[in-house]
Structures are given as structure tokens and as C-alpha cells.
Structure 1
Amino acid sequence: MGTYSNQVYFVGGGIASLAGAAFLIRDCGFPGRQIHIIEELKVLGGSNDGAGDRLHGYVIRGGRMLNDETYENLWDLLSSIPSLDDPSQSVRDEIMAFDTVHPTHSRARLVNKDGEVVDAASMGFDMGDRMDMAKLIITPEEQLGRLRINEWFGAHFFQTNFWYMWATTFAFQPWHSAVELKRYMIRFMHEFPRIHTLEGVTRTPYNQYDSIILPLHRYLQEHGVDFEMNCTVTDLDFQAGDGITVTRMHYVKDGVERALDLTEEDLVIVTNGSMTESSSLGSMTAPPQLYGKGSSWQLWDRIAAKKPGLLGNPASFDDHIDESKWESFTVTCQGSRFFDRMEKFSRNIAGSGALVTFKDSSWFMSIVLAHQPHFRNQPEDVKVFWGYGLYPDHVGDYVKKRMCDCTGEEILTELLHHLKFENELDELIRSANCIPCMMPYITAQFMPRTPGDRPQVVPEGSTNLALIGQFCEIPDDVVFTEEYSVRTARIAVYQLLGVNKPIQPINRYQYDIRTLLQSAAASFR
């Protein structure tokens, strides 16, 4: 171990904080007992959640897709975390071995209003779409500013197979940032030719909580990391003057307001903002509720106001719920009836396909059947699948209500009608438990922004504060990925401790001539 005497406090227990703690231990020789992870909830993992049982139903708020070729720092981290099932094997090796046996190749990426699988190999572009895409890729970000995607592309673009697939794979909306779409097009350029099969998706053996968070948690526990659960950080005090030095942390524990005085050597690493904050679950008989700002957004609001221009502008992300929300749902099935029907319909066994998107759905709905079991405690005769709708304020095509007003039973009814499974509707509903989830900030990181709205990982003038997660700035990288959170954590730890070690660079596929030619050819399919 190193000879450090200072303490490190991570605010938030998501993957960014867990990764940061692991990098401190692995790469800096930092004592685990001097690392403190403070989490408001009773469970770690942040947006990497996954919980439930046969009786109450399982819940995954979000679907997360990994990529072997772009998640450079995530894989580097997981290569040194032992597997829960075989400690002689790393989590990375475990995932890669599983993915090799269960490769992804979707045969039913898009479904039309008649319940028919669409040939999605054609992107559906016209020359205007191709020119707009090429110009977007080469236009500097500073020239795009706060431009929205629908201010760059014409109406035809949003009726193409490409948009249906790209939007639902990455959860883009027409009103989201054109800068972010540009970054995605460059970062995932190698996926462009195979977006209709999603062959580039890397799957974990179970949901990401069971497959990634639990092994990370155990690794940190074994190194003595302190976990403060059910503890909410409410504010930070700064030393007077122009610089940024945190002197005191305010928090609430067991309903009591408290404060912790910090030395100048102590470090504070904050996950500012949260995609899944204020999430709400419904049930088969009740819709979820729509809530507003919670503690992570309130904390960022408070500290940003104290240091104008240095800690970002949270209002660009947390004041637009109507543009950043969507609704997911997790369905627990007793027996395999639905899975049997779905595998026959899609021509994919569970875990070999990808998102099945109902492109004409008013809710713009998609579902995915993962390899079973998807949870460590899942019984053999129970099956679980996940889905979501990008337009929760729209009225359904069969259930004439807004998705956000629907119960789990009504969402399942709408889905079964799109699949044309009406002849078994009653039986399928009777054997299922559909739990809807409203997430008001799930795509807040995609909202239009200007330079400075997302703060630097280590802000200018900071001596002991860093910001990590989805709402700080890394040039050229893309938010809404596990990689972004892990990369921010690695940058924060290395910079604050003055560690001179390399960080895995971003793969620059836009400079690879083969990738460029393959992508150009795909645009003419």
C-alpha cells in the first residue's frame, strides 16, 4: 500500500465511484480503508440496477449494451476484477467467454404496424440524408452549438430505417443535441454497417448489477473500502477565494443533518447529476408517477451556484423533464409461453437477438429478450424481458391512453397487439407481471448544451474536487455509456493524485480507411 494519509470521499455509489475506488487501489496503491463511498440508497450501482424475485417481479430500469471495441477503460478495469463464480478468472474474461458462446445477431430488428419483420439492411437514406450526415461529421462542435438533431436533418431522415434503429439503440430523440449525435456517429462508426443486426453488442452473463456491480463491490470490500449507505450529501463548503478547495461536507444520515470538516489534502469526488434520479415504479394495476429533482441534482445546483462558470450549468440538463424522460418496463413471466412465441416470431432464441423495435408504434416501443436466467436468483421456470417507449406522452395505438398513464397490464396489452399475439392475450397477461418505470432524466445528458455546461472532470483551480459520471466533459467521448463513467473516474483519480500513468485512448475509427469505406457503402444499401 501507499503512504497516503488523506481520505477520499466519493459522493454517489454508481459505477463511476466504484471504478474510481478500484483505480485508487489498483493503480495508486491507495489504502482501501481511507476510501469512503457515500450512497443515498440502500444499494450500490446507481443506474446499473437489477433486483427482484418471482413473487414481486424483477426490475431493470435501463437496458445497457456494451461494446468490445469502444469501451476501452471499462474493459481495462474489469480485467483486474475477479469473477464471483470463478475468482481465477477476471470479470472481463468471464463476459467475453459468455459473449463468444452467445453472440448477438438480430433477425427482427424492426417490425411494422402489420406485425411483420422489416428488412432493415437498407438504411433508407436519400442523397439529402447522406449529405447532411457527412456534413455533420466534419462540422466542428463549436459551430453546431446548441443545435438540435431536427434542426440539422430534414423530415425524411426521421422516417429512415437508420433513424428507427439508431434512435432506439442509443435512445436519441429528434430534439436532442446534434453535437452528441455527431460524437456517436464518429465513436461508433464501425457499428454503422451492422446496426441492423447489432452484432457489435457485447452481453454480460446476467444483468449488469449481477455481472459487474457485485464483483466490483466485493473487490472493494476485500480491500477495506468504507460504504456509507442511506446517506445523502446535501452541500459542499468551499474555501474563500477564487480557487476550488472543499472544506466541509454537509450530509443527512438517519434523518439527522450533519457536517464533516475536511483537510486540504482530503479529496472529494462527486457524481454530479443522475440519469435515473427520481425514478418511479408502477405495477400491473397502477402507472408510475413523474417526480422532479432529487438530491444529486440539488447538490449540483447548489455547488454550481457557488462557483459560477467553473462547475457547469445543471439547468441545461435538469430543467427539461418533458424532453429527457421516457418509460421502461420489465416483464416477469411465469413459464415460457411468451418466450416461445417471441423466439418463433423473431427467429432468435433469447439472448441471440437484440432490440425488437415497433417502428410505427405511437410510443416508439422496443423490447429485448436476454439470455435466461437474467438474474442470479431467477428460477428456471421464470423468464424476464425488458422494454421501453421513447414517447410516453403519446396515446397508444390499441390502448387509447398515454403510455405514462398506463398500468403494467395496459402496457403489456399494447405490446401483445403490436406482436399480433391477440389469440393468447389473456393467457399471456395472466402469467406475467409487468412493472413500468418512469425516468424523468434518463436522457438529460443528451440535451443541447454549450461549452462549459458540462464541467471539467477536475475543474480549473480545483485542489481537491473532481466531478465524475455522465454530466462532466470528456472531449470526443460519448455519454450514456458505461465507458464514459469509468473514463471520468480514471481521469479524476490520476489528476487529483498526480499519477503519471496512461489512460486507455479513444479508438479513432474515423481515421481508419476500411471503416470509412464500409460505412460509406452501408449508407447506400
Structure 2
Amino acid sequence: MPHAHNTSDHSARKPEETNAYLVGGGIASLAAAVHLIQDAHVPASQIHILESGPVPGGSMDGAGTAEKGYVLRGGRMLNFSYLCTYELLKKVPSLTDPKKSVKQEIDEFNAVPENKTNAHARLVAKGEKGPEILNVKHMGLNTQEREGLLRVVAESEKSLGTKRIDECFTKEFFETKFWYMWDTMFAFEPWHSAVEFRRYLHRFIHEFPRINTLAGVDRTPYNQYDSIILPIKTYLEAQGVEFHYDLDTKVNSVSFAPASTITVIEIHYVSKGGATGIIHVQPHDLVLITLGSMTACSSLGTNTTPPAPQPDLETRAKDGSWGLWASLANPVINPHFSHFGNPANFYTRGPESAWQSFTVTLKNPEFFQKIEGWSGNKAGTGALTTFKDSEWLMSIVVPHQPHFLNQSEGTQVFWGYGLFPFKNGNFVNKPMAECSGEEILKELLGHLNFPEHPTLENAITIPCMLPYITSQFLTRKYEDRPKVIPHGSTNLGLLGQFVEIPQDTVFTVEYSVRAAQMAVKELMGLGKEMKIPDIYKGEHNVKVLVDALRKLMS
């Protein structure tokens, strides 16, 4: 009886008989596909990736041309502690040299002395004569603030519960150098979850001593779409994985077998023309669904127009991956709803989870020459520069050039973001959310005290409003996030930023990759054949702990 599988029976799955349906085309699904081929030996032609967007990659995107401007909705930092991600990248051949892995390519890039990150202008204040680069060797914390940090670190997640970060500290804490560096490095807001903040303090304790230089950050040779997603996609296509994307398969629900176990038997989708379709799933097949999306409902502006204003997000959330998750957690249509968390906690709080990014394409070298001279950092070595007195709390990253594989000669690209897009700017008297790209660049030039010309007329700045970008940081109850393998599941795994992986940190590539590895290992019954690296715990290393405490006391 096929429906009598239980969670402990995953060892019975035969790779040659297994079809794997991966719903969502982000890094989680792509990682799962690589591990299904290499660790579980599922034939690549039996792996199907269903994605309603125009290309795979999910939130790790990057596209554009010199004529129309390049776009990166987000940027992410890699770190030696991303053990699962680096394990994955060892398995994928580089695009430029098939004898090398993507991991080797990244290692070689970061080993070049000129590419090493060492920020000389991490925090910038508004000085009397213009921008002032702050000395950030010290954290700027007083005794009470240090004690507050240590208290949060020591407290249990259960006792912190649904507390916000600003319920654990005084107002002054949010004006310390430590907070400005920490919150812009990871994109925390004062109203975000104290539990997530605590996890970051534990997980990234090894970054404390170099929070001011960001020397622990690994960079990719190009943007992460070109350096990570494209090689994985190219590898999977060459192996024979079946990709369905560009709106021909928008999955809106799944059906379960009428049994006490969770066994998916149908995947329901809508095609581009509006026709509905069903994929029949056998009990020995696998279904892996990416829940939610941090870049859903994002809207792009242009150099001359702001991003479209956000409609009522509560109604929009029924779209795409949020809509699919909402259907899984709906008691009316899913008898197993209680195992699927509470998506509404994350998609109905747009003002708490939104911020705005922007990508600048330059056709004149003056800005780069000026920023390199002013900051003392060559492009690609400065990581993040934060303007702490900016009403938008604006930060920029000036990467190594070229930043895109197809980047035209004579162009430069950089990226930035503002954590407070609904406040009026310091130089442009309106909210960032209502600004055109040109106005955002004007605001930045004002903070730097750089002349507007010739930069403005030689730049294309594309703003991007991201209503859900930090939704995974929102305060939550423990049960709001479902497990990677729901209790009683025989063939369904859940992936992405909204599943629960104890002790690991959301808003990292690592979280998505780890969830994919957990799902493949468990559902394919791989046991000892597939080893998933333990979560890196720097606090178990005495030297790391001593160095972190020394920095904290500075």
C-alpha cells in the first residue's frame, strides 16, 4: 500500500523511479536539484523545476544592459561559515573553466590581494565641512548597552518570544556605532524580532572583531546571478533537468492523499493563457516547495520615475509563492494545515518589512575616481559604506568591475539601499519611495558632497521597492514557521527563508541551501551517505570568543 509510507520509511525510495517536482526556481530548488543528482543519483531528466518568473534564480537576480541600465534587487555577502553553500559550490563547474568548481573560482578571486575586503569608510557622518569618515575601531557601547547585548545572547528564544529588538535596549543603543554597522550589514530594523537578532549574535560572533572592516566577507567575481546562479543553471540544463519557467507553470495549490500522512498526489497550476493543469504525483515521487518570497511584489522605477506605489499588500499576498503557502496553511482546504505555519504573519506587514534598493549604471568614470580617492578603497575592497545621518539610512556597495558578464566597456555599476524609504531625504525633500532614480543619485551625491555634473547626466539609476525584503525578520511565534519536513510527510519538503531551521539565520543564502540539503537527505533516505555540515558555531572556539568580547569592550 503506497499511502502507508511514514516519515521513517524514506529509505525505500528508489532514485531511478523517483520524479522530483521543485516548485520555485530560487537557490533552494537549484541546490536541491544538484544534490538530487550528485548525492541521491536521481536521473536529471526526472527533476522538474517549476518557476513562474522569466528566469531561475529567485531573489538572486541580476540583469540589464548599459543602454537601459543594470538591475540588482539585492546583494548578499558570503562568509567562510556558509559551510552548506560552499559544499554546494564545490559540486558545480565554473562557466569559464570546466576543470574548476565555482568554489575554486571564488577562492581564487578572494585570494588576489587587490580584491580583499578592508573597508576604510564603513560609517560616514555629516560633518561641518561635508562628509566625515568615522573611526570605527571601537563599538561605541557603554556598560549598560554591552550588558544588554550579553543578556540577549544568554536569553532563550522561548523567553524572548515575540519581543522586538527595541524592547530589549534603550533608545541610545540604536545610535551606537555598533548598531549602525550591524543593522546595515544584515538589514535589521529596531522593530524586528529579538529572536532573529539573538541568532545573528550567536551565528556571526566571529565577525565581531572585523565588523568595522568587513574583512570576513567573501566576494564573487561578478554579481551573484552571473557567478552562482548561472553556473548552477547551466550545469543542471546540461545534465538534462527540466525547467518550466516564464509563467507557463504557476503552481497555485497541491492535493493530498486522503490519509493521516502528508502525501502529495497532485500539483495544480495555471498556464500563461489561463488554462489550468494538473501534474499527477506518485507516492514514491518528491515535491519540494519554496515557501514565500522576499522579493515578491517588488516594483522597479526608472531614472525619471519612482517605483509604482504599493497596493494593499494584504490582497496582493495571495500571489505566487505567498498564495501557494497560504493555500497550504488554509484549514478550509488542507486537513494538514496545522503543519504549515502562518504565512499571514509575514505577508501582511509591508511597512515593517519594506526597504528600497537602487542600481546605478555610470558611463563616466568621474564618480568612481572620486569615491576611490575619498574613501581610500579601490572598487571592490570597501564592502559597505553607510551614511549614518541619512534620513533614509542609505548605504552603498561599490563592487569590483566589471560586475556583470555582459558589462560594456567604459561602464561602471554599483548598488545601494535605504532602510527607511518612507522618510523624507536630507537633500531631496520627499520619501525615497517617491523618488526617481535620478533623485536618489542626487541625494547620494549630496551626502558625499560630490558635484552633480558630469555624473548625473551620465548615469542611469533604477530604484526598486521591496515590500517583503525583511519579512523573515518580523516578530513571530515559534509555530509560525513550518519544519523542512512537516510531521508525517512521506514525499513533501519545504524550502526557503520561511522554514524553521533551529539556530541558523534567515536572510542568508546558507539558510536556503541548508534547507534543500536537509530535504533531499531526509526524503531520499540517504542517512550516512550524505553528510550535511553542522552549523558553524564560533562561540565554541575560545579564541573567537575572546576576540569578540575584546571588541565588544572596546
TM-score by length of 1: 0.98
How many Å apart are 1:261 and its aligned residue?
1.9
CA contact (8 A) 2:484 2:495 kept: yes
How many Å apart are 1:205 and its aligned residue?
0.2
Q: Once structures 1 and 2 are overlaid, which stretch shifts more, 283-292 or 84-93?
A: 283-292
CA contact (8 A) 2:15 2:40 kept: no
Tell whether 2:232 aligns with 1:216. Answer: yes
Q: 2:104 corresponds to which letter in structure 1? A: D
Tell whether 2:462 aligns with 1:451. Answer: no
The DSSP-based 3-state class of the residue aligned with 2:73 is: coil
**Separation (CA, whole Å) in 1 of partners of 2:172 and 2:280:** 58
Residues 388-427 of structure 1: pairs in structure 2 closer than 5 A: 388-421=417-450, 424-427=451-454
Q: 1:187 corresponds to which letter in structure 2? A: R
Q: Deviations over 1:453-475 (max 9, x none)?
A: 11000000111111001000111
Q: 1:66 corresponds to which letter in structure 2? A: L
How many Å apart are 1:242 and its aligned residue?
3.2
**Separation (CA, whole Å) in 1 of partners of 2:166 and 2:337:** 31
Tell whether 2:133 aligns with 1:104. Answer: no
**Separation (CA, whole Å) in 1 of partners of 2:103 and 2:183:** 28
Identity %: 50
Which of 168, 185, 188 pairs up with 2:204? Answer: 188
Q: 1:299 corresponds to which letter in structure 2? A: L
Q: Once structures 1 and 2 are overlaid, which stretch shifts more, 218-227 or 359-368?
A: 218-227
Q: What is aligned with 1:48?
A: 60
Q: Once structures 1 and 2 are overlaid, which stretch shifts more, 368-377 or 310-319?
A: 310-319
The DSSP-based 3-state class of the residue aligned with 1:425 is: coil
Q: 2:260 corresponds to which letter in structure 1? A: D
CA contact (8 A) 2:292 2:498 kept: yes
Q: Deviations over 1:363-417 (max 9, x none)?
A: 0000010000000000220000000000000011111101101111111111100
Tell whether 2:224 aligns with 1:197. Answer: no
Which of 86, 95, 98 pairs up with 2:97? Answer: 86
Q: 2:101 corresponds to which letter in structure 1? A: S
Q: Deviations over 1:69-96 (max 9, x none)?
A: x100110111111100011111001001
How many Å apart are 1:335 and its aligned residue?
2.2
Q: What is aligned with 2:304?
A: 285
Tell whether 2:468 aligns with 1:441. Answer: yes
Residues 18-417 of structure 1: pairs in structure 2 closer than 5 A: 18-68=30-80, 70-101=81-112, 102-114=115-127, 115-229=131-245, 230=247, 231-255=249-273, 256-289=275-308, 290-291=310-311, 292=313, 293=317, 294-305=319-330, 306=334, 307-417=336-446
CA contact (8 A) 2:364 2:454 kept: no
How many Å apart are 1:238 and its aligned residue?
1.4
Q: Deviations over 1:264-315 (max 9, x none)?
A: 1121100000011111100111111225323110110011112332011111
Q: 1:310 corresponds to which letter in structure 2? A: H
The DSSP-based 3-state class of the residue aligned with 1:21 is: helix
**Separation (CA, whole Å) in 2 of partners of 1:3 and 1:49:** 31
CA contact (8 A) 2:18 2:42 kept: no
Q: Once structures 1 and 2 are overlaid, which stretch shifts more, 437-446 or 291-300?
A: 291-300
Tell whether 2:477 aligns with 1:461. Answer: no
**Separation (CA, whole Å) in 2 of partners of 1:201 and 1:336:** 26
Q: Deviations over 1:172-194 (max 9, x none)?
A: 00000101011101110000111
**Separation (CA, whole Å) in 2 of partners of 1:105 and 1:171:** 20
Q: 1:302 corresponds to which letter in structure 2? A: S
CA contact (8 A) 2:386 2:396 kept: yes
Q: What is aligned with 2:9?
A: none
How many Å apart are 1:426 and its aligned residue?
3.1
**Separation (CA, whole Å) in 2 of partners of 1:243 and 1:80:** 34
The DSSP-based 3-state class of the residue aligned with 1:30 is: coil
**Separation (CA, whole Å) in 2 of partners of 1:62 and 1:133:** 28
The DSSP-based 3-state class of the residue aligned with 2:17 is: coil
**Separation (CA, whole Å) in 2 of partners of 1:241 and 1:132:** 49
TM-score by length of 2: 0.93
Structure 1 stretches lacking a partner, 5+ long:
none
Instruction: Give the aligned CA root-mean-square deviation in angstroms.
Output: 1.0
**Separation (CA, whole Å) in 1 of partners of 2:15 and 2:517:** 20
CA contact (8 A) 1:309 1:452 kept: no
Q: Deviations over 1:420-467 (max 9, x none)?
A: 01xx20321001000000011000000011111110000001111110
The DSSP-based 3-state class of the residue aligned with 2:48 is: strand
CA contact (8 A) 2:92 2:231 kept: yes
How many Å apart are 1:6 and its aligned residue?
2.3
Q: 2:449 corresponds to which letter in structure 1? A: K
The DSSP-based 3-state class of the residue aligned with 2:329 is: helix
Q: Once structures 1 and 2 are overlaid, which stretch shifts more, 54-63 or 497-506?
A: 497-506
Q: Once structures 1 and 2 are overlaid, which stretch shifts more, 461-470 or 303-312?
A: 303-312
CA contact (8 A) 1:104 1:197 kept: yes
Q: 1:107 corresponds to which letter in structure 2? A: H
Q: 1:162 corresponds to which letter in structure 2? A: F
**Separation (CA, whole Å) in 2 of partners of 1:426 and 1:369:** 19
CA contact (8 A) 1:329 1:387 kept: yes
The DSSP-based 3-state class of the residue aligned with 1:309 is: helix
The DSSP-based 3-state class of the residue aligned with 2:338 is: coil
**Separation (CA, whole Å) in 2 of partners of 1:298 and 1:34:** 26
How many Å apart are 1:3 and its aligned residue?
4.8
**Separation (CA, whole Å) in 2 of partners of 1:308 and 1:153:** 37
Q: Deviations over 1:324-355 (max 9, x none)?
A: 00000000000211100110111000001111
**Separation (CA, whole Å) in 2 of partners of 1:165 and 1:420:** 22
Tell whether 2:32 aligns with 1:11. Answer: no
